[in-house]
Chain A
Amino acid sequence: MRNALTIAGRELRSFFVSPIAYVVLTGFLLIGGWFFFNLLARFNFLLNLYAAMRNPQFAEQMNLNDMVVAPLLHNLSVVLVILMPMITMRTFAEEKRLGTYELLMTSPLSIGEIVAGKFLSMVVFVLIMIGLTGVYPLILLLYGNPETGMIASGYLGLLLLAISFAAVGLLTSSFTENQIIAAVSCFAVLLLFYIISWPAETAGGGFGTVLKYLSLTEHFSEMVKGVIDTKDLVYFVSVIGLSLFLTLRSVESVRWR
């Protein structure tokens, strides 16, 4: 455990002493802020429009959760599909290129500790990244009255989604010493699982159900709607667990070859 923390600490420090962390966080918040601003502007515009049309029923029906928070979370999840591969691509690939992999592998560390340390650092980074976007719903809470339960459930969903992405990223990074290959293959996997349920309706039947179950978006959408179902939690935990297990095996495989 102590070793895992040591590795996680080094990993995070290297993020924050280099410009990487700041560039990623700035980019993420900038894009997130732009989404938030636009969603909120449209909300205000509609509200004013309905008020001008003296149409109070419509205005009644508008709510911040459905019109601002939910689309914001969905948009952020798309940004994460693009950003997470770039954050995780270094984890193993860079160590192999630098030769520091040899230091890790010849130190008295278990492979579990190495993988756990790297994963932990990614979880902390994701928490910081998503935590900072909390400022948007905070603004809504200060000036409006959105439902906090729904926001919390949506954010939990976003967090689980990002952590799952990170676990997949660790896996693809462990396969290669080339960061571009690591990032692109992670991106391809994430995007595929993001859109995998598209043919579900036409496919129908058992196949359709399977595709729907595999889709990251389906599970995430449920949580954004404010439903925390064990089924969805189990899904995310299994994606994370399976990816980490395969990462472990992939790192271990140096010892088989």
Chain B
Amino acid sequence: MIEVRNLTKRYGDLVAINDITFTAAKGEILGFLGPNGAGKTTTMRIITGYMPASSGTVKVAGYDIFDDSLEVRKRIGYLPENPPLYTDMTVGGYLRFAGKIRGISRMQIDDAVDRVLVKCGLTEVHERVVGHLSKGFRQRVGLAQALVHDPSVLVLDEPTIGLDPKQIIDIRQLIRELSGDRTVILSTHILPEVAQLCQKVVIINRGRIAVEANQAELTRNAPLEQVFLQYIAQDEVIETQVSA
């Protein structure tokens, strides 16, 4: 469903991501892990077509992100780290707008908006102004925005950041329900979340893939937390050896 091949992104001399390759199959939830500044957001921005890579390719549902960017963007729902909300709009109005620019026809827009309002638990706030909502609700509006056009691929950048425990559980439950026949890429710092939700884990460190594996295999001998630290540390050891 998602095929990332030899992806590299440079900002001048700075290499943000370096020769990244991984795949996510249909119906899979892929946990995308790594320390801050490892290149997670950059990778996600490339997959969603926000910016191009310096080299390498991404295929989403068989479409190339560079050649068929429009087709890819139709099929992706993206929740950036900061939910992209127009704070002066009502929840309903905002979701209608998000749906329309994703190409939902006038006939179907009401149904589509009602569907995500229910799914994300936003029905009672649909007339409220986005800017007046609490952090938890805003996050849910962001998620609803990513779902309104019923995309086959969901890219979520730290969807549970800053939420209270109850809301975190709700969102996780929602992501689990959503997966089904969708492919989800989930970036997060919260390792138990990955342990609960994801079939597959990709750990990225300093712009390189440290490991790509099934979660079950990865955590056979040690908990995810230990595995994560081990891979991050391993990378640093190699690097200090090289520089020495």
Contacts and interface: CB of A to CB of B under 8 A. Distances in A.
A117 to B, nearest CB: 9
A7 B80 CA distance: 20
Given A99-B84, A106-B73, A14 B89 contact: yes
Contact of A256 (B11, B52, B80, B103): B52
A109 interface: yes
B177 interface: no
Contact of A6 (B84, B85, B101): B101
Nearest to A254: B51
B70 interface: yes
B86 A99 contact: no
Given A14-B88, A17-B88, A99 B52 contact: no
30 contacts: A3-B100, A3-B101, A6-B97, A7-B101, A13-B89, A14-B86, A17-B88, A17-B89, A18-B88, A98-B85, A98-B87, A99-B85, A102-B45, A102-B80, A102-B84, A103-B78, A103-B84, A103-B101, A105-B49, A106-B73, A106-B76, A106-B78, A107-B73, A107-B98, A107-B102, A108-B74, A108-B101, A108-B102, A254-B51, A257-B51
Contacts of A18: 88
Contacts of A13: 89, 93
B84 A98 contact: yes
A255 interface: yes
B83 interface: yes
B8 interface: no
B88 A104 contact: no
Most buried by B among A108, A110, A257: A108
- Chain A contact residues: over half helix, strand or loop, or mixed? helix
B48 interface: yes
A44 interface: no
Interface in B102-117: 102-103
Contact of A98 (B76, B86, B98): B86
B106 to A, nearest CB: 9
Contacts of B45: 102
A102 B101 CA distance: 13
Interface in A243-257: 254-257
Contact of B84 (A2, A7, A14, A100): A100
Interface in A1-47: 2-3, 6-7, 10, 13-14, 17-18
A43 B151 CA distance: 66
A109 B84 contact: no
B153 to A, nearest CB: 12
Nearest to B78: A106
Given A254-B51, A255-B52, A103 B145 contact: yes
Contacts of B49: 105-106
Contacts of A105: 49-50
B111 to A, nearest CB: 18
Interface string A44-68: 0000000000000000000000000
Interface in A61-106: 98-106
A257 B54 CA distance: 9
B101 A107 contact: yes
A103 B98 contact: yes
A163 to B, nearest CB: 25
Contact of B86 (A10, A109, A110): A10
Nearest to B71: A108
Contacts of B88: 14, 17-18
B147 to A, nearest CB: 13
B82 interface: yes
Nearest to B145: A103
Nearest to A2: B100
A211 to B, nearest CB: 39
Given A102-B50, A103-B101, A106-B73, 9 more contacts: A10-B97, A14-B86, A14-B89, A18-B88, A98-B87, A99-B80, A102-B84, A255-B52, A257-B11
A106 B71 CA distance: 11
B50 A100 contact: no
A3 to B, nearest CB: 6
B17 to A, nearest CB: 15
Interface in A218-257: 254-257
B215 to A, nearest CB: 28
Most buried by B among A10, A13, A102: A102
B103 A108 contact: yes
A23 to B, nearest CB: 15
B144 to A, nearest CB: 12
Most buried by A among B50, B78, B84, B85: B84
